[in-house]
Amino acid sequence: MTEFPRPTADAARAPLIATRDLVRRYAIGAATVEALRGASLTIARGEFVAVTGPSGSGKSTLMNILGCLDRPTSGSYQFEGTEIADVDADARAEIRNRRIGFVFQNFNLLARTTAIENVELPLFYGPSPLHAQHARAAQALERVGLAHRAHHVPSQLSGGEQQRVAVARALVNGPDLLLADEPTGNLDSRTSAEIIAMFRELNRTSTLTIVLVTHDPEVAAAADRSVTFRDGRIVGDSAAAATGSRRSAP
Give mean pLDDT in consecutive 10-residue pieces for the chain, a chain of 250 residues. 52 82 92 94 96 93 96 96 93 92 94 96 83 94 96 96 96 95 92 94 92 93 96 90 48
Q: Is residue 175 part of a domain?
A: yes
Q: Is residue 5 part of a domain?
A: no
Please give the pLDDT value at position 43: 97
- Count of domains forming the chain: 1
pTM: predicted TM-score of the whole model, two decimal places: 0.88
Please give the pLDDT value at position 206: 86
Q: What is the residue range of 60's domain?
A: 15-248
CATH number at residue 136: 3.40.50.300
Please give the pLDDT value at position 245: 46
Please give the pLDDT value at position 88: 93
Q: Is residue 10 part of a domain?
A: no
Spatial separation of the C-alpha atoms in residues 205 and 48, rounded to whole Å: 12
Please give the pLDDT value at position 155: 97
Please give the pLDDT value at position 124: 83
Other beta carbons within 10 Å of 130: 10
Please give the pLDDT value at position 12: 55
Q: Is residue 3 part of a domain?
A: no
Q: Is residue 112 part of a domain?
A: yes
Q: Is residue 6 part of a domain?
A: no
